[in-house]
């Protein structure tokens, strides 16, 4: 080996001295990597000590043998001496070789040709390190990470299931007309359960970030529209604390942008939630401004500021570290993971996050994020999971303002007497029309099939549906769902995804193939699942589901999703259901008028008013509204002819 490598080492000596044979030997044998040389026939000509340590071969064992004795994987098909591509000097590869005792070693090797001064090749040299233990450790770590992810996903599902019962039933209790003391206790139960759910989400998000499983997904988005959805989420807690809240966007920033707003939304909501949490009075503000535009990339600054308690100087330097809690947070609760998650997500978005704070006075978080400007928004598959209809009109602070204000200031000194009116008048961000979403008669008696293997989940779903004006039947498996669809027409399926024997995905595919009958092939299916990550939503979409509701189920979200899904459903099946309901209702009304049951008439007409109006039968809707008023006032003389006219109109409309 020394004869082959000596010229190279000599050329590296800068002081002009010449190493002796013994010195060359020392240099080679003290190398921390295994080294061996071969001639043109690939016969091993020399090795160093580390080669012997790794392979178990001594010089006497292996010098003079063909290098294939090592059974290196590439040596058989592609020898490193001849695998160099044009322009390459060193051949690099990870591969396997067999040691003297028969054990397989994973090595990382470099190989190069040895050339004489005239350029002729006279052999080759190879060096390698044993990475078997490293590779094994990586495989063990990857397996452990996969196992941890599976465990966390399972735990998330298992924890969310009872949480769905606690939050869902406590929500229903608060709407059940119970006493003030009971109402307060039910609200406290719901608040505690929601806090526990937030802790769970933080732990799961942090674990996902640690495992490197945050995946960036750029898509077109409307900035002002998305900020409005954020304002609708944060406003309830802002109003509860009687704080001022404002979102402003610099006029020069385009509406339509390209970027990963899903993760950006998560960051902003986390920062805003913290701001509300640590602010007792004053202003919470989210300001979006333009930093620079270069190389077709627009850099935006999102600043979340508050007039809260501030952060101590010692805490500021560690604020983005996991499990670090500022002094105030130890008293207000939290995991200390929220800002660490924000930092990881900011890195994912190729951005930067900063904090400025003055203890006892204010805090400001600044987020610098790159996005791209686009001309128009294309359809996205994720739109199928949109749970609310967004009003994108923007309020303006004043005619002279150069910035759009998405939410005007709300006075922190409102009296409790006019708080309700102020809430309605000051809340400029309209997420949905109150006339639609607050009247459960819009969607009465439309049958929904609830499919869930958990009894508590079925109870929560059925009670929520009843509260919202739907009728429902419940089954506990995919097989039972298919049988139920064969017996009765349903407007919609509310389907759990994880069930034994036949899960929600398999059930959906079975229905979409037409195997459950052609008439139900396109019935709307809404996933109701405790698996709530983006990949879970995508899996639902790919299976053929129309929408997605995460557990624990929020009744307002459920209502918005169901209503939006039903509106997109082909109209004829719903009209058929409405016609069947009208036939049943006519008999009920005729018996009720005979028995002078004004209360029953009022209830039936109220339901008919909402459903007929929703489906566009305005004459029936108007008459049912008049009948309801007459029944409520127990005015038989007015009610009787109106009711007869409405019944005749229904019979004529549907050829009954």
Q: Give pLDDT tens digits for 55-75.
A: 999 989 999 988 888 876 555
pLDDT > 70: what percent of the chain? Answer: 74
Per-residue pLDDT at 88: 63
318: phi then psi, degrees, rounded to nearest 5: -115, 10
Per-residue pLDDT at 500: 84
DSSP structure class, residue 477: S
CA 246 to chain centre: 26
User: How many Å apart are CA 233 and CA 370, to the nearest integer?
Assistant: 24
Cβ neighbour number for residue 476 with a 10 Å cutoff: 18
* pLDDT (mean) for 118-124: 84
Token pair of 629 as six digits: 């008023």
Residue whose token pair is 């139960």: 189
Per-residue pLDDT at 424: 31
* pLDDT (mean) for 612-620: 70
Tell me which residue of 490, 468, 491, 474 sits closest to 557, measured CA to CA. 468
Per-residue pLDDT at 3: 53
Per-residue pLDDT at 141: 81
| Helix or strand holding residue 148 (H, E) | helix 132-174
User: How many Å apart are CA 565 and CA 388, to the nearest integer?
Assistant: 10
Helices and strands in the chain: count of H runs, count of E runs: 23, 19
Q: End-to-end distance of the chain based on CA atoms, in angstroms?
A: 102
Q: 576 CB contacts (<8 Å, ≥6 apart)?
A: 489
* pLDDT (mean) for 499-509: 90
Per-residue pLDDT at 359: 79
Q: Predicted confidence band at 11 (pLDDT cuts at 50, 70, 90)?
A: very low
Whether 345 shows a pLDDT value over 50: the answer reads yes
User: How many Å apart are CA 283 and CA 306, to the nearest integer?
Assistant: 6
Compute the mean pLDDT over every residue in the chain, rounded to the nearest whole number. Answer: 75
Per-residue pLDDT at 331: 47
Whether 639 shows a pLDDT value over 50: the answer reads yes
Per-residue pLDDT at 422: 33
Whether 302 shows a pLDDT value over 90: the answer reads yes
Token pair of 135 as six digits: 């590779």
Q: Report CA-CA distances (Å) from 404 to 286, 398, 467.
A: 12, 9, 38
Q: Predicted confidence band at 19 (pLDDT cuts at 50, 70, 90)?
A: low
Per-residue pLDDT at 558: 87
* pLDDT (mean) for 159-187: 77
234: phi then psi, degrees, rounded to nearest 5: -85, -20
* pLDDT (mean) for 108-135: 86
Per-residue pLDDT at 66: 87
Q: Decide if 521 contacts 496 (C-beta within 8 A).
A: no
Residue, of 318 and 45, whose pLDDT is higher: 45
Per-residue pLDDT at 569: 62
Tell me which residue of 106, 1, 97 sits closest to 46, measured CA to CA. 1
* pLDDT (mean) for 512-534: 80
CA 489 to chain centre: 33
Q: Is the model's pTM score more than 0.75?
A: no
Whether 78 shows a pLDDT value over 80: the answer reads no
Whether 151 shows a pLDDT value over 70: the answer reads yes
Of 53-67, 70-84, 209-223, 636-650, highest mean pLDDT? 53-67
User: How many Å apart are CA 104 and CA 98, to the nearest integer?
Assistant: 5
Tell me which residue of 174, 192, 281 sits closest to 238, measured CA to CA. 281
409: phi then psi, degrees, rounded to nearest 5: -60, 145
* pLDDT (mean) for 236-250: 89
Per-residue pLDDT at 366: 94
Whether 443 shows a pLDDT value over 50: the answer reads no
- The mean-pLDDT minimum among 22-26, 221-225, 565-569, 612-616 falls in 612-616
Specify which residues 121 forms β-bridges with: 115
* pLDDT (mean) for 295-314: 88
Q: Give pLDDT tens digits for 367-407.
A: 999 999 876 544 443 333 333 222 322 222 222 223 333 33
Under the phi-then-psi rule, with left for phi > 0, alpha for psi from -120 to 50, and beta for the rest, what region is 593?
A: alpha
User: How many Å apart are CA 513 and CA 497, to the nearest integer?
Assistant: 18
* pLDDT (mean) for 529-541: 78
Cβ neighbour number for residue 247 with a 10 Å cutoff: 26
Per-residue pLDDT at 403: 33
573: phi then psi, degrees, rounded to nearest 5: -60, -40
Residue, of 485 and 18, whose pLDDT is higher: 485
Per-residue pLDDT at 397: 28
Whether 430 shows a pLDDT value over 50: the answer reads no
Per-residue pLDDT at 334: 55
User: How many Å apart are CA 559 and CA 638, to the nearest integer?
Assistant: 35
Burial class from Cβ neighbours inside 10 Å (0-12, 13-18, 19+) for residue 56 reads middle
Residue, of 435 and 319, whose pLDDT is higher: 319
Q: Predicted confidence band at 169 (pLDDT cuts at 50, 70, 90)?
A: confident
Strands 525-529 and 492-495, how do they pair? parallel
Per-residue pLDDT at 112: 84
Whether 299 shows a pLDDT value over 90: the answer reads yes
């Amino acid at each position: 080996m020394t004869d082959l490598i000596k010229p190279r080492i000599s050329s590296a000596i800068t002081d002009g001295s010449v190493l002796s044979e013994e010195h060359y030997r020392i240099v080679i044998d003290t190398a921390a990597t295994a080294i061996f040389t071969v001639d043109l026939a690939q016969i091993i000509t020399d090795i160093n000590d580390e080669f012997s340590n790794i392979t178990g071969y001594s010089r006497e064992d292996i010098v003079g043998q063909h290098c294939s004795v090592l059974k290196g994987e590439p040596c058989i098909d592609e020898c490193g001496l001849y695998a160099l591509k044009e322009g390459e000097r060193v051949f690099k590869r990870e591969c396997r070789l067999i040691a003297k005792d028969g054990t397989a070693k994973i090595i990382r090797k470099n190989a190069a040709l040895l050339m004489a001064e005239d350029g002729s090749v006279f052999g080759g040299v190879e060096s390698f390190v044993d990475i078997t233990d490293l590779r094994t450790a990586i495989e063990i770590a990857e397996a452990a990470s996969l196992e941890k992810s599976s465990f966390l996903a399972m735990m998330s599902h298992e924890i969310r299931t009872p949480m769905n019962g606690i939050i869902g039933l406590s929500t229903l209790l608060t709407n059940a007309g119970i006493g003030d003391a009971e109402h307060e206790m039910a609200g406290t139960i719901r608040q505690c359960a929601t806090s526990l759910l937030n802790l769970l989400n933080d732990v799961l998000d942090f674990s996902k970030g640690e495992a490197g499983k945050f995946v960036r997904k750029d898509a077109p988005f409307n900035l002002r529209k998305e900020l409005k959805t954020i304002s609708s989420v944060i406003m309830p807690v802002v109003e509860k604390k009687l704080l001022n809240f404002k979102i402003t966007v610099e006029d020069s920033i385009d509406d339509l942008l390209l970027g990963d707003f899903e993760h950006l939304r998560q960051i902003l909501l986390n920062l805003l939630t913290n701001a509300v949490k640590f602010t007792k009075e004053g202003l919470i503000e989210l300001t979006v401004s333009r930093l620079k535009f270069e190389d077709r990339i627009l850099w935006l600054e999102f600043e979340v500021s508050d007039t809260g308690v501030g952060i101590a100087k010692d805490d500021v330097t560690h604020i983005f570290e996991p499990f670090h809690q500022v002094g105030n947070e130890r008293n207000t609760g939290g995991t200390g993971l929220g800002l660490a998650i924000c930092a990881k997500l900011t890195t994912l978005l190729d951005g930067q996050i900063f904090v400025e704070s003055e203890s006892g006075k204010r805090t400001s978080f600044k987020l610098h994020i790159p996005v791209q400007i686009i001309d128009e928004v294309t359809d996205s598959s994720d739109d199928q999971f949109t749970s609310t209809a967004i009003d994108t009109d923007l309020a303006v602070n004043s005619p002279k303002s150069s910035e759009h204000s998405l939410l005007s200031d709300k006075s922190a000194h409102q009296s409790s007497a006019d708080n309700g009116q102020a809430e309605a008048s000051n809340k400029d961000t309209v997420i949905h029309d109150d006339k639609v979403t607050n009247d459960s008669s819009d969607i009465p008696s439309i049958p929904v099939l609830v499919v869930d293997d958990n009894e508590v989940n079925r109870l929560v779903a059925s009670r929520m549906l009843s509260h919202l004006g739907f009728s429902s039947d419940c089954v506990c498996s995919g097989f039972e769902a298919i049988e139920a669809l064969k017996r009765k027409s349903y407007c919609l399926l509310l389907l759990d995804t994880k069930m034994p024997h036949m899960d929600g995905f398999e059930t959906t595919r079975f229905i979409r193939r037409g195997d459950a009958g052609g008439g139900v092939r396109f019935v709307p299916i809404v996933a109701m699942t405790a698996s709530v990550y983006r990949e879970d939503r995508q899996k639902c979409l790919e299976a053929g589901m129309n929408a997605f509701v995460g557990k624990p189920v929020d009744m307002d979200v459920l209502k918005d999703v169901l209503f939006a899904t039903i509106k997109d459903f082909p109209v004829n099946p719903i009209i058929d259901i409405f016609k069947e309901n009208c036939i049943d209702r006519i008999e009920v009304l005729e018996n009720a008028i005979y028995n002078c049951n004004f209360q029953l008439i009022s209830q039936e007409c109220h339901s008919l008013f909402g459903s007929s109006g929703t489906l566009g039968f305005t004459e029936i809707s108007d008459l049912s509204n008049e009948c309801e008023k007459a029944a409520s006032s127990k005015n038989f003389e007015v009610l009787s002819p109106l009711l007869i006219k409405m019944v005749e109109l229904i019979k004529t409309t549907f050829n009954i």
